[in-house]
Structure 1
Amino acid sequence: MRVAVNHVTRFRFAEPASHSIHDARLVPRPAAGQRLVSWSVRGPGRRAEWRDGHGNSITTFSVAQRHSHVEIAVEGIYEWVGDDSWLQYAEREPLPATFWLRNHGLARHDARLDPLIAGLAPRVADSRDHVPLLHELMQRVHERITYRVGVSDVKTDALHAFDRGEGVCQDLAQVFVACCRRLGVPARYVSGYMRTDNGHKIGSPCPAWGEALVPGLGWVGFDPANNASPTHDYLKLAVGLDYTEAAPVTGRRIGPGGDAEMTVEAMVRQID
C-alpha cells in the first residue's frame, strides 16, 4: 500500500518580523514495515538538518529579512510492506526507561488523574503483559475526554484537559502519557500523520498519540482519540516527553511581528 502526503503549514504575522527561525519535525522516523518512496520538506531562508536527543529529524529554516509570512510544505509518498499487526510497529528504546517516567511539562500528572487509573496500579505491578491493561487505560481516556476542536491550544496540559473533559488528539495523548507515567509505565508523546480518507478515524491528518514502553516488546502505540492501536494508517514523525518536544512545526521570531496566525492544510490518502 502506498500513501501520499501533502501538508502545508503557514504562519502570518500581524506586523513584519525581522528574523524568524522555524524547526520542522516533518521527516518520518524509521519504522518496521515502512519505506519512504519520496519525501521533501521545503521552506524559506537558510536550511539546516539535524537530529535531536530523541532521534527526531529536524529541518530548521532561518529567515533573516523582513517578512510577514512563512510557509513550510511537505510532499511525499510512503509505502507499507508488512501486515496490519500493531505488534509489527513496536520500536526498541536505547535510553534508560526511567527517562520516560519524568513528571514533565504538558504531560505532568498529580492525584487529579487517579480516577482514570483506579484499580490499574496493582494489576500493572503484578502483570507481565501490560498491553491489555494499557488498552483499558486508553479506553478510559477515550470515554472520559470528548474529542472537540477549539477548546484547547498548544499550551493546554494534561491536567487541564482532564478537568475540562474535552480536547483534541494532542490533549488525549498527553492525558494517556501522564496516566502511564503515574502508573510507573514509561511513556512518550508522538506526532505524525494518519490516513483519514477511509472514513474510519476521527481527528485531523496530523494527529498525536501516545506510546508505552512494554517489557519484551518495546514502544507500542495507543491512540485514545480513536480508541485504537496505530497500524499502517499511521506514520510516525517525532517523539518527546510532551507536545513541545514533538510538535510538527515550532517557531520563534524577532519583532515586532505582533500576533501570529498559524493555519495547516494536510491530505493523507492511499494512492495504490
Structure 2
Amino acid sequence: MRCEIRHTTEYHYPKPAWNSFNQVRLHPSNETRQSVRLFHLNVTPDAEITSHKDYFGAIVHHVHVHEHHRHLLIEAQAIVDTHAVTLPISTPFSELRPERGRNSEFLVPSPRVPSGRWPELFGVARPGPGDDLPEFLLELTSHLRRRFTYDPSATDVRTPLAEFAQTGHGVCQDFTHAMLGITRQLGIPARYVSGYLYSGGEMRGAEATHAWVECLIPGYGWLGYDPTNDCLALEKHIKIGHGREYSDVSPVRGTYFGGGQGTLEVAVHVYADQ
C-alpha cells in the first residue's frame, strides 16, 4: 500500500523568539515491512538543518532557527510503501529464555514504564512456559482494547501509567505503555513504536502520530500489536521509529529564547492508495 503523509507542527509566539532549536523525529524508517520513497522537511522561517541516527536507528533532524520569529512551521512530507508480511507460527513462551539477555534494554523499567505488578493490576493471567506466545499477545491486545476507553481529553504525555490504570481513560501512548508494562513483567522483550496510521475512518489515533508495541517472537523477529485498535500493526501502520517508551521517540521537542508562552498546533494527514 502506498501512503502519503503530511505532518505539520506550528508554534505561535506573542513576542519574538530566537535561537529556536527543535529535535524532530518524523522520518519513517526503512525496513522489511516498509520502504520510504520520498521524505522532505520544510521549515519556515529559514533554518539550519542537520541530521543523525539515534541509538535505536531512527533518523533525527535538528532544526535551528537563529533569527527572530513569531511563527515557526515544521512540515514533514513523506511517501511510503508498506508491504505485507508473513505471520509467526506457534511459539511457546519457553523459547524466550535465550532472547532475554540479548534484548535486556526492552525488558528493564523506564521512567514512563516503571516496574510493578502490571499483569495483576490490568487483570492479565500469567502464562505458562508451554503457552503460545503469539496467541497470548493477540489476546492481550484485545483485552486492553476492551478494558480501557479511548479519550483524547483524559491524559497528556506526563500522565503516569498508574493513573491510566486507575481512571481507565487515555490515548494510544497510554494503551502502549500499559502493554509494555505487562509484557516486560512477563519477560517478553517489547518496544514502543511511534508512527502514523491510515485509518480510512474506522480506527482510532489517526489524527496525530500514533503509537503501538513491537514484541519479539523467537525465530521470527519483531511484530507490531496495536492495543488501541485491537489489531496487528500491518500495512496501515507506518513506522517512524522505536524505543523504550514515548520519551525516546517523541515527534518534535525543543527550546527557544524569548517568545513568551507560545501555542502549538499539530495536524497529520495520511492518504493511501490501496
TM class by smaller structure: 0.7 to 0.9
**Residue 268 of structure 1 aligns with which residue?**
270
In structure 2, what is the Cα distance between the partners aligned to 1:85 and 1:140? 24
Task: State the Cα distance separating 1:85 from its structure 2 match.
Answer: 4.6
Task: State the Cα distance separating 1:118 from its structure 2 match.
Answer: 3.3
Identity of aligned pairs, percent? 28
Residue 83 in 1 paired to residue 84 in 2?
yes
Residue 232 in 1 paired to residue 238 in 2?
no
In structure 1, what is the Cα distance between the partners aligned to 2:217 and 2:231? 17
When normalised by structure 2's length, the TM-score is 0.87
**Residue 49 of structure 1 aligns with which residue?**
51
SS in 1 for 2:64: strand
In structure 2, what is the Cα distance between the partners aligned to 1:86 and 1:11? 42
Structure 1 unaligned residues grouped into runs of 5+: 88-92
**Residue 110 of structure 1 aligns with which residue?**
116
Contact 1:86–1:231 (CA under 8 A) maintained in structure 2: no
Structure 2 unaligned residues grouped into runs of 5+: 89-98
In structure 2, what is the Cα distance between the partners aligned to 1:5 and 1:230? 17
Paired AA for residue 114 in structure 2: R
In structure 2, what is the Cα distance between the partners aligned to 1:113 and 1:229? 21
Residues 12-46 of structure 1 show CA distances to partners (whole Å, capped at 9, x for unaligned) of 23443332211111111122142222221222411
Residue 167 in 1 paired to residue 159 in 2?
no
Q: Which runs of 4+ in 1 moved over 4 A?
A: 84-87
In structure 2, what is the Cα distance between the partners aligned to 1:162 and 1:16? 41
Contact 1:193–1:268 (CA under 8 A) maintained in structure 2: yes
When normalised by structure 1's length, the TM-score is 0.88
Counterpart selection for 1:138 from 116, 138, 141: 141
Residues 156-198 of structure 1 show CA distances to partners (whole Å, capped at 9, x for unaligned) of 23222112211111111111111111112111111101112x2
In structure 2, what is the Cα distance between the partners aligned to 1:102 and 1:22? 29
Tell me whether 214-223 or 36-45 shows the greater mean CA deviation.
36-45
Distance 1:132 1:54, change over 3 A: same
**Residue 73 of structure 2 aligns with which residue?**
71
Contact 2:29–2:36 (CA under 8 A) maintained in structure 1: no
Paired AA for residue 84 in structure 2: D
In structure 2, what is the Cα distance between the partners aligned to 1:27 and 1:8? 13
In structure 2, what is the Cα distance between the partners aligned to 1:107 and 1:257? 34
In structure 2, what is the Cα distance between the partners aligned to 1:83 and 1:190? 18
Paired AA for residue 117 in structure 2: A
Give the number of aligned pairs: 260
Task: State the Cα distance separating 1:63 from its structure 2 match.
Answer: 1.4
